[in-house]
Each structure stands twice: as structure tokens, then as C-alpha cells.
Structure 1
Amino acid sequence: MDKTILSAADAVAGIGDGASLAVGGFGLCGIPAVLISALYEQGASALRIVSNNCGTDDHGLGILLGAGRVARVTGSYVGENKEFARQYLGGELEVELVPQGTLAERLRAGGSGIPAFYTPAGVGTPFADGGIPWRHRADGGVAVASPRKETRVFGGRAFVLEEAITCDFALVRAARGDRHGNLVFDKSARNFNPLAAMAGRVTIAEVEELVEPGGLGPDEIHLPGVFVQRVVPLTPRQAADKRIERRTVAG
């Protein structure tokens, strides 16, 4: 029952080339930065990432992108990452853009054993009709485009069928966790972390504070340990290293 692994390097050692990973976080909030850095040092490539976004050019998933280690991204937002945009437009990276709520539900469905679901989001748009560029050619043309999705009418309203997402691994970050893998997330850092954790066949969680079994009250646990296979306790310095994506101050 003790799922603790003291080294982030040991925790990600089994992630091989071509692996699919669900990664928690939103912008730079709640990202598993230590596990991502360990994966960068480990050297796995051709990774298929499922995440709301890919961090910034110099932090989070951006360091894997910059090193050419990512082959495909399923996400909702390109955001502040110029390298992400450059690789996508240059035909180096395959990108499936998904409405944010749909992405969240696809991850949750995958973790719940639901193969697909219908949603009104995207009906009557290229998300349902197909044709969105997933991969460009070097000359700017479209090499791979999104397929048309099934639609049905329920109660007089059209819905589009979306398939669930599961991944080989999931990387998440939690504020607190116990040795059994039960996790608690802090405020907005909760974002995509529980959903990503549910979707991973092997879920690795870095935790800012490790407590002994029984140290978390049943009602405060956000994600039960059944979804988590490895727990990596962070050092105080690692836990305190939280970057701000964009700082805005009053003039």
C-alpha cells in the first residue's frame, strides 16, 4: 500500500518513447514541474501529451516541446508558448484543439470507464464537421485534418459524440498526499489535476506535503488513492517553486 517513491527520476524511469501522458495544471498553476523536469532529464521522446496547455517556453511542458520531445498535443490553449505555435504552424507538431469543458469531460469519462458521451459543445462548427488542421505540411498546407464526428438529436437538440481519453501515464501535482495515494489539491491548482490523474493507467503524483495514512480526513480528500500508483514527496524548496505566468500590476 505504500506508493512512495523518493526520487522523481525513479518515478518516471518507465516512461518510454511514444508514451501518452495526461498532465495536470492550468497555465503554470498546479503543474507537476518536478516530474516534467525529471522526464526531460530521462530523455523520452515522441511523447503524446494531453493537457489544457503546454506551459511557457521555458517552464513546464514547454521544456519538452523546446527539446523536440513531443509528437502530439491534445489541449485547449496554445497560450503564452511561442514555440508551441511555431512547431504547430511549421508542421513539426500534431495538435488536436478541444473545447476546454469537452477536454475535461473526456478525461473524466476515461477515468470512469465511459467510452464516449454526447455534448452540445461544437455542434455546427468544424469541431463536429471536421477539417480542423491537426498537422500542417512544411509549405503551410494541411497534412492531417480532424475527422467528422457523429451527431444525434435528443429532445430536439443536436449533440456531437466525443470519445473518452485514457493515457499510458498521468503526471499531477497535489498540495498534500499520503502514502496510499490519497490527494488534496490547493484551491485553483485543483483544475485539471484530478481529471488527468483519473485518465492515467499509471498515475504519478508529486506532493508538496507527504502525510502518513490517516493524516487526511475522508471528507477532505479530492482524489482517492485508487487512481494513483506512485507518490513523490517534494523537498521544501521544490514545493515553494511556483512561477507566475503573467504578472499584472496597477499603474
Structure 2
Amino acid sequence: MEATRPGPRSKVVADADEAVVGVGDGASIAAGGFGACGIPSALIDALWRRGVRDLHVISNNCGTDGWGLGILLETGRISRVTASYVGDNAEFARRYLGGELEVELCPQGSLAERLRAGGAGIPAFYTAAGVGTLIAEGGMPWRYAPDGSVLVASPPKPTQLFDGVEYVLENGITADFGFVHAALGDSEGNLVFAKSARNFNPLCAMAGQVTIAEVEELVGAGEIDPDAVHVPGIFVQRVLHTPAVEKRVEKRTVRAPMEVS
């Protein structure tokens, strides 16, 4: 008898609330996006409705005031952030300096590689970024006390010489959940990202133990050219169709109108 190959199992969930089932208090979340570009806003909104607290977020930045991860931040749902960029998020700065938030700042390239390494099963790697600074030497404020003193400081990291050049050891990052936003996805979780919205999304998809992807366009299994796939479905456990998700511009710059004589 000729063996038959089992058919594809759909990973599509009915709505955003179903997508975030199982995300509980104290969970760690690797969230894709950069500023307001490519952020999984539908999943973040659902997580806010779920009411979970004490979250550890790993993301390039923590959203903007009143948008994206900023919604969780301003309602006190996040206790720790691993990021490379604060930006213009005034609430982030207020909570950090006021001792309400623990923050591990990391060079942007190192953060990207830490996520990629974690997803690839690499426990640690050496990099020149941060050598000779508090990143390597320790003492960077992670959490302040209400009086402004440093309550928790970063520990020193191991360094090593390679061919006479000093490098610092950075650990790979994995998270309980990965939240990502893609332009296109299929029912098996294969994902395609649009231009700069790719940013940290593929890395966060790899780093999550359970990765949830919101996709603007959803197609059936086999409809995406395999050569076009940015993240294969093996890394994705749940898919949410979000055809009308809101998109915002973080900073709008326009040229003054030209005078016509």
C-alpha cells in the first residue's frame, strides 16, 4: 500500500483574543517592530484586554506614547524591558527613571544577534560591540530606586582576546512568546514581511517558544512561493488574519510648499 502524506494543519485562529490564550502573568515576549513600523498591534491590544501583568518584553523599543507596547507600558503591565532604543517615549523614560521599570539596554546589532542566536539554538557569542563600556564592564543602571540611586546594576560580562582584539560575550535570547506582524502569511505559518517592516520581526519569530503572527493577507497552504518565504512555518504556532490593522507614522516630515511666482 502506498503511504499517503498527511494534509497541512491550519494554524489560523478565529480572533485576536484566541491568539493570545495562554499568555499569563510574568511571561516573556519578543515583539517585532521598530517604532511604529511593523508592530503586532492587534496582538498587543488583545494582550492588554487580557489583563496580564509583570511582563518581560524584548523589543527594539517599547512602542510610542499611547501606541503599540506603549499601551501596556502606560498601564503598568510591563516590569522589565530588554531594548536598544528608548526614542521619544516619555512614559518609558518616566517609569525607568522613577524606579517603576527595569531596563536592560543593549546595542541594536547585539540585540538582533542575541534574538537570532536564541532562535538558532546558539547559547552565546562574542562581539566587539560594547567593549570598553558599561555594557562589558558592568554598572549600567537596570533599575533605579525612588530616590534616584541605582537599585540594580548590570553585571560585568566575560571578555576574550581573539587575534589580539578584545570581544565581549553576549547571551542568546529566547522568550516564552514571539509576537510578529507580517504582510503575507499562509495557514501553515509561512511568513513574508514588507520592506522595512521586516526589521526585528523574523528574529522575534525565531526566538519565541510559541510564536503568534498577525498577517495582513492570508492565503492557503502552498500559495506562497517557497523562495519568497522570510520565516518558515516551523517557527510559527498561531496565525491571526488582520486585514484592516491600523498603521501609524511615528514622525511625519513634510517639505514647505514652494512659492510659485
Q: TM-score, normalised by structure 1?
A: 0.98
1:101 is aligned to 2:106:
no
1:149-205 CA-partner distances (Å, limit 9, x unpaired):
000000110000000000000100000000100000000000000000100000000
Aligned pairs for 1:1-251 within 5 A: 1-234=9-242, 236-238=243-245, 241-251=246-256
SS of alignment partner, residue 210 of structure 1: strand
Take 2:88 and 2:183, find their aligned partners in 1: how far apart are those partners? 25
Q: Which has more radius of gyration?
A: 2
SS of alignment partner, residue 237 of structure 1: coil
SS of alignment partner, residue 244 of structure 2: helix
Shift of residue 250 of structure 1? 1.1
Q: Unaligned 5+ residue runs, structure 2? A: 1-8, 257-261
Q: TM-score, normalised by structure 2?
A: 0.94
Take 2:169 and 2:241, find their aligned partners in 1: how far apart are those partners? 39
Amino acid at match of 1:237: A
Take 2:14 and 2:172, find their aligned partners in 1: how far apart are those partners? 32
Amino acid at match of 2:33: G
Amino acid at match of 1:191: N
Partners of 2:216 and 2:244 within 8 A in 1 = no
Partners of 1:32 and 1:172 within 8 A in 2 = yes
Amino acid at match of 1:220: A
Shift of residue 17 of structure 1? 0.2
Cα RMSD (Å): 0.6
Partners of 1:44 and 1:69 within 8 A in 2 = yes
Identity of aligned residues (%): 65
Q: Unaligned 5+ residue runs, structure 1? A: none
Shift of residue 237 of structure 1? 2.4
Amino acid at match of 2:119: G
2:6 maps to none
Shift of residue 15 of structure 1? 0.3
Take 1:237 and 1:217, find their aligned partners in 2: how far apart are those partners? 24
SS of alignment partner, residue 219 of structure 1: helix
Partners of 1:110 and 1:165 within 8 A in 2 = yes
Tell me how many residue pairs correspond in the alignment: 248
Partners of 1:175 and 1:209 within 8 A in 2 = yes
